[in-house]
């Protein structure tokens, strides 16, 4: 376990069953507050807590971990479902494209057969007129 201390907080990396993930997408270390009103109270926060430009603002008290874990779990499930939806939409789009192409081919075949039928009727009429007259 790594740990660090400063005037207001210290942190510890933990190995929980499901890590707490901040809004940046990084695993959050466990911090221990050193502030007078919450001294010794543990919390999870963005690993960039001390880096103002990168800090996403994620914070939750250790007591709220179950709620945050459930939220993270649901976030992962939602992301997986959204990815599946995107995959199915892409597959549907590809299948629709293939069907549209097949439809155009069949339309061209029908048009070709209509012209062939027309030509056959014209030739047949010409032959009938030639031999009947």
Per-residue confidence band for 58, with pLDDT thresholds at 50, 70 and 90: confident
- pLDDT at 11 exceeding the cut of 60: no
Per-residue confidence band for 109, with pLDDT thresholds at 50, 70 and 90: very high
3-state secondary structure of 28: coil
Q: Nearest to residue 12, comparing CAs of 36, 39, 27, 31?
A: 31
9: tokens are: 């907080």
Q: What share of the chain is helix, strand, coil (3-state, %, to 5)?
A: 55, 15, 30
Per-residue DSSP letter, 35: S
The confidence score (pLDDT) of residue 23 equals 84
Per-residue confidence band for 1, with pLDDT thresholds at 50, 70 and 90: very low
Higher per-residue pLDDT: 13 or 121: 121
Share of the chain above pLDDT 70, in %: 82
Domain ranges of the chain: 3-132
Pairing mode, if any, of strands 30-33 and 9-12? antiparallel
- pLDDT at 9 exceeding the cut of 60: no
Task: Yes or no: say if 68 and 47 are a contact pair by the CB < 8 Å rule.
Answer: no
């Amino acid at each position: 376990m790594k740990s660090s201390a400063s005037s207001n907080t210290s942190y510890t990396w933990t190995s929980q069953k499901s890590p707490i993930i901040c809004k940046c997408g990084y695993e959050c270390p466990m911090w221990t507050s050193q502030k007078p009103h919450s001294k010794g109270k543990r919390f999870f926060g963005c690993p960039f807590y001390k880096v103002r430009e990168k800090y996403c603002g994620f914070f939750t008290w250790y007591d709220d971990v179950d709620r945050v874990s459930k939220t993270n779990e649901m976030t992962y499930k939602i992301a997986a479902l959204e990815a599946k939806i995107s995959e199915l939409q892409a597959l549907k789009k590809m299948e629709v494209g293939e069907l549209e192409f097949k439809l155009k081919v069949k339309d061209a075949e029908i048009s070709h057969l209509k012209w062939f039928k027309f030509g056959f009727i014209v030739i047949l009429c010409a032959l009938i007129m030639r031999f009947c007259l």
